[in-house]
Amino acid sequence: MSKNLTQRAEDYSKWYNELVVKADLAENSGVRGCMVIKPYGYAIWEKMQAELDRMFKETGHSNAYFPLFVPKSMFEAEEKNAEGFAKECAIVTHYRLKNDPDNKGKLMVDPNAKLEEELIVRPTSEAIIWSTYKNWIQSYRDLPLLINQWANVVRWEMRTRLFLRTAEFLWQEGHTAHSTPAEAIEESVKMMNVYAEFAENFMAMPVVKGVKTESERFAGAIETYCIEALMQDGKALQAGTSHFLGQNFAKAFDVKFANAEGKQEHVWGTSWGVSTRLMGALVMTHSDDNGLVLPPNLAPIQVVVVPIYKSDEQLEAISVEVEKLVSTLRKLKISVKFDNRTTHKPGFKFNEYELKGVPIRIAVGPKDLENETFEVARRDTLTKEVVSSEGIEKYIENLLDTIQKSLFDRAFEYRNSHITEVNSFEEFKSLLDTKGGFFSAHWDGTSETEEKIKEQTKATIRCIPLDRKEESGSCMFSGKPSVGRVLFAKAY
Amino acid sequence: MSKNLTQRAEDYSKWYNELVVKADLAENSGVRGCMVIKPYGYAIWEKMQAELDRMFKETGHSNAYFPLFVPKSMFEAEEKNAEGFAKECAIVTHYRLKNDPDNKGKLMVDPNAKLEEELIVRPTSEAIIWSTYKNWIQSYRDLPLLINQWANVVRWEMRTRLFLRTAEFLWQEGHTAHSTPAEAIEESVKMMNVYAEFAENFMAMPVVKGVKTESERFAGAIETYCIEALMQDGKALQAGTSHFLGQNFAKAFDVKFANAEGKQEHVWGTSWGVSTRLMGALVMTHSDDNGLVLPPNLAPIQVVVVPIYKSDEQLEAISVEVEKLVSTLRKLKISVKFDNRTTHKPGFKFNEYELKGVPIRIAVGPKDLENETFEVARRDTLTKEVVSSEGIEKYIENLLDTIQKSLFDRAFEYRNSHITEVNSFEEFKSLLDTKGGFFSAHWDGTSETEEKIKEQTKATIRCIPLDRKEESGSCMFSGKPSVGRVLFAKAY
């Protein structure tokens, strides 16, 4: 297998596009802007789903499923949300095809089957879900209502990129209702923390927790909490958001509850989501010029074993030893594949698993059988070691932990060395393209300044970090007073 | 909680509709024909998904994800399939809304954002998937290709019923490609068997395996294998289908492979699916006038514990014992809920869990504490027993198995006593409504006869059972020769 991968230094964006396809993660489909998630890519997504789903359930949430379509009138109900979302989306206007009388074998839209009201393919489900919650919530005893949905959504993006920006994508969206604002805020923060924990412990991807500025906030939210990650090319990526909706949707859809005193009040809401975009973030956090690098905690295949042999007898002898190893590793819940295909050479296989980011590759040849050893190669460091077969399972188990930690540490170090404090707009502009990363700078708190900086540099405020220290200063752009630094970056 | 459920004998259809809503499985949404699957219903679906997914993976399949939309031209590619499917479906014609200049705060479809080619919301994914397989398959080494997708699909049904027939529903669809017809047929049969095993072992629902007649076959298939179940009202329900597609889709989408001799051939295909319709089948196989009856293997809550107390002290003492029990049961992987809500009386709780079909209810009062006993009630038989707390966990574990088996046996007996051999059309007609169920009868093998019988009785041929014995006879309708009996029934 020849990789022929564009090198990152040459063209990072091209490297990404090629890698996603060549590593069998996803590809473009015959439908504009929609991707096919291939089995290997989907297996990683399934691992992400499994962990997130477990975390959602452990924090008291249940899954449910709401309709794909949202009638236009429901969309309009929450004005800010409609304004922010409903412009570019897929609209169903008809419900029947018929044979085209002028073109034998062809179909046409039946003009007699026009819908009375257009249906929007959900770009997000607040509207349809809050219109349902109206009937589910009567009393404080029905609260909190803690629901999550795994679903596909559609946003008619003009410029798409696999995983990062596609017309259709997969995601989860949590939608909760509470009796007090404090409880709803606590929920928003809790879910931001769940996302951060997932990103760091499973994706090995360090994130900054913060809140969005008004102009970057979710349309219809009072506050948007977010986690922001840094990609290898110095651009930031928003990896998850959690919104405190106040009573906006409750009021738009008239969702009230009787409190303990019997008084009617509107409920308080949150929504939060992460999507298949995380797949793009995973690729751009760890991978290298040889292909994917996957953290063991999300790798569909954690260990691959490749036999090196010249004869059927050698392969047979090797297989006996490998089968023992495979069964020992599986008992430790390690996902292991024995690639005994006779149609491909070891070199081809080595390249393939390097491209696909399998964390550990074990090679076994006749010499290893003699010496009772295995050759163990790490994908992250591209280093090899000869290891005695005695106790190998423990060695592998530890090595997987080491790799997981080491990937995080490497990304953490990179990220930290790319948070640059700047105190003037000139400094900011000169470092933005040469160094990249996050820039910690004073800002006067106005959308006007934010907009002007964006116009001149394409950089946006990624977040106001939750742990920022109070520090009075003056805005790097306007010179007006500021109460603390925010993080600017160019972003995906 | 008052159940007020219509009784089955009174109006079976009304009973079903009420039960699905009252037991919190699903409800109609504000979108025509689309349902909301509520958390309790979704939890059952998740258990179904988990078991099926495991079985698919154990038989070598991987999951992937393909686009929601299918361009109209792709639909037309496989003529029979287009003819059979594409008529009633949701059609996306535009991709943008805009502010309505005549109605402040309202949105309208932007007439300038008309798609060049209409997109069909997938009613099934053969077209989009086979158009993708063209690029995935070059050589016999790429075969078999064994892929499954969990997805939502939309069919514009005019008369909908929760789970049984909805415009949008959830399902899985397997799509495989093979190098020989024999291997593809083997796959179709294998997946029918997987479905049958799932239906019988998890849903406790006996099924007849068979093939469809030509007129009931999937549009674009050479053979449709199916599993057919019998509901309590004597109507049949198609619970899963597996299609041998021959080379129809391979030819329509030009999917070829080089065989071992280097010769180009079209591949052989299958597709197979089950949907949220199974939820309806589950309800109508076991439930009774008091509510749902769930088989333990699919019950989100297998055991519920309800404390009976008059004072806080009593509740506290009971809680101590219950917590011990709960922790012991959880260690046995039994899903158990301790309902210690102080806002609801035991009678209310009893009704609620009866309605929701929880297989085992344990009640504990002060007397039980004294006697070191628990009161154990079975949902399926509505019987109670007082059981010593010594070894109770083993008792519960066995009881869950007993209930699972007993539900199957009861359904099996009912089904078997409702397969009636008939030898004349008069006999058939007279028993069809009075007795219901499957009717095993001779048929001359023609679509004409099948159609006439359907017109006159609304009954269809559910399947030609795979295990039918060769038995020459004469068609109950036409008197023409027949080589064996087929199963007729009215069906959902």
Q: How far is Cα B21 from Cα B48, in angstroms, rounded to an integer?
A: 20
What are B438's two structure tokens? 């499957």
Query: pLDDT tens-digit profile of A392-438?
Result: 999 999 999 999 999 999 999 999 999 999 999 999 999 999 999 99
CB contacts of A151 in chain B (<8 Å) are: 152
Same domain, B190 and B59: yes
In angstroms, what separates the C-alpha of B113 from chain A's closest C-alpha? 9
Chain A CB within 8 Å of residue B168 CB:
yes
Residue A104 has what pLDDT?
A: 85
Compute the distance between CA of residue B243 and CA of residue B175 in angstroms, rounded to an integer: 9
**Which burial class, exposed, middle or buried, applies to A305 when counting CB atoms under 10 A from its CB (0-12, 13-18, 19+)?**
buried
Residue of A nearest to B47 (CA): A63
More confident residue, B80 or A460: A460
Q: Say how many Å lie between the first and final Cα of chain A, rounded.
A: 31
Cβ(A241)–Cβ(A122) below 8 Å: no
Confidence of residue A15 (pLDDT cuts 50, 70, 90): very high
Q: Quote the mean pLDDT of chain A.
A: 96
- Is there a single domain that holds both residue A343 and residue A210? no
CATH of the domain at A213: 3.30.930.10
Chain A within 8 Å of B91 (Cβ-Cβ)? yes
Tell whether A72 lies on the interface with B, counting CB pairs under 8 A.
yes
A431 in the same domain as A368: no
The closest of A83, A126, A150 to A245, measured between CA atoms, is A126
Please tell me which of the candidates A39, A70, A343 has its beta carbon nearest to residue B63: A39
Return the CATH number at B458: 3.30.110.30
Cα B445 to Cα B486: distance, rounded to the nearest angstrom: 10
Q: Which of B253, B286, B319 is the C-terminal boundary of a domain? A: B286
pLDDT of B158 > 80? The answer is yes
Do A346 and A245 belong to one domain?
Answer: no
Nearest-CA distance B460 → chain A (Å): 26
For residue B246, the distance in angstroms to the closest alpha carbon of chain A comes to 21
Neighboring chain A residues of B42 at a CB cutoff of 8 Å: 62-65
Nearest to A29 among B39, B120, B132 (CB): B132
Are B177 and B28 part of one and the same domain? yes
Chain A residues with CB inside 8 Å of B98's CB?
87
- Asked whether residue A275 falls in the same domain as residue A320, the answer is no
Q: Is B51 on the interface with A (CB under 8 A)?
A: no
- What would the pLDDT profile of B7-33 be if each residue is shown by its tens digit? 999 999 999 999 999 999 999 999 999
- Tell me the torsion sign for CA atoms A38, A40, A43, A45: negative
Domain, as residue range, for B455: 419-489
Report yes or no on B120 lying in a domain: yes
Asked whether A263 and A295 are in contact (CB, 8 A), the reply is no
Measuring CA to CA, which residue among B195, B184, B201 is closest to residue B227?
B195
Cβ atoms of residues B227 and B192 within 8 Å? yes
* 8 Å CB contact of B72 and A152: no
Asked if A67 has any chain B CB less than 8 Å from its own CB, the reply is yes
**A42 and chain B in contact, CB less than 8 A:** yes
Domain finish residue from B399, B429, B455: B399
Does the residue B412 lie in any domain?
no
Q: What is the pLDDT of residue B85?
A: 67
- B91 in the same domain as B203: yes
pLDDT(A1) > 60: no
Yes or no: say if B228 and B238 are a contact pair by the CB < 8 Å rule.
yes
Among the partner-chain residues B29, B65, B119, the one whose CB lies closest to the CB of A132 is: B29
Confidence of residue A85 (pLDDT cuts 50, 70, 90): low
Q: Report the chain A residue with the minimal C-alpha distance to residue B344.
A: A141
Which residues does B367 contact at the CB level (< 8 Å), separation at least 6?
B373
Measured in degrees and rounded to the nearest 5, phi and psi for residue B362 equal -110, 130
Would you say residue A408 lies in a domain? Answer: no
Kindly list the residues from chain A whose CB atom is less than 8 angstroms away from the CB atom of residue B91: 92-97, 109
Q: Say if residue B27 is in the same domain as residue B98.
A: yes
What value of ipTM does the predicted structure carry?
Answer: 0.97
Residues B146 and B195 in one domain: yes
Reported as a single tens digit per residue, the pLDDT across B212-258 is 999 999 999 999 999 999 999 999 999 999 999 999 999 999 999 99
Nearest-neighbour CA in chain B from A10: distance (Å): 28
Tokens describing residue B33: 């024909």
What band does A86 get if pLDDT is binned at 50, 70 and 90?
A: low
Interface of A with B in 124-163 (CB under 8 A): 128, 131-132, 135, 141, 147, 151-152, 154, 156
pLDDT tens by residue, B85-121:
668 999 999 999 999 999 888 899 999 999 999 999 9
Establish if A59 belongs to a structural domain.
Answer: yes
CATH number of domain containing B322: 3.40.50.800
Q: Which chain A residues have a beta carbon less than 8 Å from that of B65? A: 36-37, 42, 45, 170
CB interface of B with A, residues 92-121, below 8 Å: 92-98, 105-107, 109, 118-121
Q: Are residues B335 and B383 in the same domain?
A: yes
pLDDT of residue B1: 47
* A25 and A140 co-located in one domain: yes
- Asked, for residue B411, whether it belongs to a domain, the answer is no
Q: In this predicted structure, what is the pLDDT of residue B3?
A: 64
- How many domains does chain B fold into? 3
pLDDT mean across residues, chain B: 96
Q: What does the DSSP assignment read for B449-481?
A: HHHHHHHHHS-EEEEEETTPPP--EE-TTT--E
In a domain, B307, yes or no: yes
**What is the end-to-end Cα distance of chain B in Å, rounded?**
31
Whether residue B408 lies inside any domain: the answer is no
Of A70, A76, A92, the CB nearest to B91: A92
* Residue among A75, A94, A168 whose CB faces B93 most closely: A94
List pLDDT tens digits, range B358-410. 999 999 999 999 999 999 999 999 999 999 999 999 999 999 999 999 999 99
Residue-wise pLDDT tens digits, B251-287: 999 999 999 999 999 999 999 999 999 999 999 999 9
Query: Is some CB atom of chain A closer than 8 A to the CB atom of B348?
Result: no
> Which residues in A lie closer than 8 A to residue B31 (C-beta atoms)?
67, 69-71, 119, 128
Does A95 sit within 8 Å of B69, measured CB to CB?
no
Are A156 and A33 within 8 A, CB to CB? yes
The answer, yes or no, to whether residue A371 has pLDDT greater than 80, is yes
Whether B87 contacts chain A with CB within 8 A: yes
Residue A111: what are its φ and ψ, rounded to 5°? -65, -20
Q: Is the pLDDT of residue B5 over 90?
A: yes
Answer yes or no: is A260 within a domain.
yes
- pLDDT surpasses 60 at A350: yes
Nearest residue, CB atoms, B131 vs list A30, A128, A152:
A30
Together in a domain, B271 and B332: no
CA distance A235 to A241: 18
Final residue of a structural domain among A399, A433, A455:
A399
**Cβ within 8 Å, pair A69-B34:** yes
> Residue A297: which residues within 8 A CB-CB, separation 6 or more?
A47, A51, A201, A202, A203, A204, A404
